[in-house]
């Protein structure tokens, strides 16, 4: 039997998606992304702003996905998108300047919802492309998708680390230690 909160959803596409997800027994990040992207497409197609009932549906979904087996990460990013988060203040998208974004609200254009979905579910709100460090010239980074595996067939190795001049030795030193620890554990087993 479908839970009452799903039956109460007003947006037909969201109701259909969540009825299907509930029948499957759980909710995944991919399913949530599909439902949210569908809502964006629906509003873009009809050139409609976010309605009060759509926002109420999203708030109900955010309140109830834990009971559907949502991971703590999925719960967090859904809450950040729907209920607001300090990180929603700006959108950078890997550019050199941030622009105002803001929390989701009734009357938002489809672009606002799309950028929030992109920020939290697609990971496309990348940090600024300029790296400024005292005593070094400003560096510009370029973001691109990589389809290669993160590690080689034998896993991470200390020699994989190439610090460069970013000033992140504290992070890379701990990663190097973890990679050595993993290999020591492998040899002891």
pLDDT per residue over 39-80, tens digit each?
A: 999 999 999 999 999 999 999 999 999 999 999 999 999 999
Look at residue 181 in the predicted model and tell me its pLDDT.
58
Q: For residue 124, what pLDDT is reported?
A: 87
- Report pTM: 0.74
Residue-wise pLDDT tens digits, 131-188? 888 888 888 888 777 888 877 787 777 777 777 776 788 888 888 887 765 554 455 5
**Annotated domain spans of the chain:** 4-122, 146-188
Q: What is the pLDDT of residues 79-126, one digit of tens each?
A: 999 999 999 999 888 777 888 999 999 999 999 999 999 999 998 888
| Strand partners of residue 100 | 90
């Amino acid at each position: 039997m479908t839970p009452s909160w799903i039956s109460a959803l007003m947006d037909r596409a969201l109701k259909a998606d969540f009825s299907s997800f509930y029948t499957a027994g759980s909710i995944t990040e991919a399913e949530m992304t599909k439902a949210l992207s569908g809502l964006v497409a629906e509003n873009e197609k009809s050139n409609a702003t976010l309605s009060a009932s759509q926002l109420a549906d999203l708030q109900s979904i955010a309140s109830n996905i834990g009971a559907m087996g949502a991971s703590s990460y999925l719960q967090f990013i859904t809450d950040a998108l729907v209920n607001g988060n300090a990180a929603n203040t700006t959108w950078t998208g890997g550019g050199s300047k941030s622009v105002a974004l803001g929390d989701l609200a009734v009357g938002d254009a489809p672009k606002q919802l799309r950028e929030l979905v992109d920020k939290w579910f697609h990971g496309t709100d990348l940090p600024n492309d300029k790296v400024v460090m005292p005593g070094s010239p400003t560096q510009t980074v370029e973001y691109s998708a990589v389809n290669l595996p993160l590690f080689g067939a034998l896993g991470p190795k200390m020699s994989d680390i190439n610090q460069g001049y970013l000033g992140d030795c504290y992070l890379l030193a701990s990663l190097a230690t973890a990679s050595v620890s993993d290999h020591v554990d492998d040899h002891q087993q």
